[in-house]
Chain A
Amino acid sequence: DAGITQSPRHKVTETGTPVTLRCHQTENHRYMYWYRQDPGHGLRLIHYSYGVKDTDKGEVSDGYSVSRSKTEDFLLTLESATSSQTSVYFCAISESSKSEQFFGPGTRLTVL
Chain B
Amino acid sequence: AQSVTQLGSHVSVSEGALVLLRCNYSSSVPPYLFWYVQYPNQGLQLLLKYTSAATLVKGINGFEAEFKKSETSFHLTKPSAHMSDAAEYFCAVSKTGSEKLVFGKGTKLTVNP
A105: nearest chain-B partner, CB-CB: B43
17 A–B contacts, CB within 8 A, in A order? A42-B103, A42-B104, A45-B102, A50-B99, A59-B102, A97-B97, A97-B98, A98-B32, A98-B51, A99-B97, A100-B34, A102-B46, A103-B44, A103-B45, A105-B42, A105-B43, A106-B42
Contact surface of A with B, Cβ cutoff 8 Å: 4, 31, 40-45, 48, 50, 58-59, 90, 92, 94, 96-106
Question: Is A100 in contact with B49, judged by CB distance below 8 angstroms?
Answer: yes
Determine the chain A residues whose CB is within 8 A of the CB of B42 once the complex forms.
105-106
A106: nearest chain-B partner, CB-CB: B43
Question: Is A42 in contact with B106, judged by CB distance below 8 angstroms?
Answer: yes
The interface size of chain B toward A, counting residues with CB under 8 Å, comes to 23
Q: Which listed residue (B41, B46, B90) contacts A42, Cβ 8 A?
A: B90
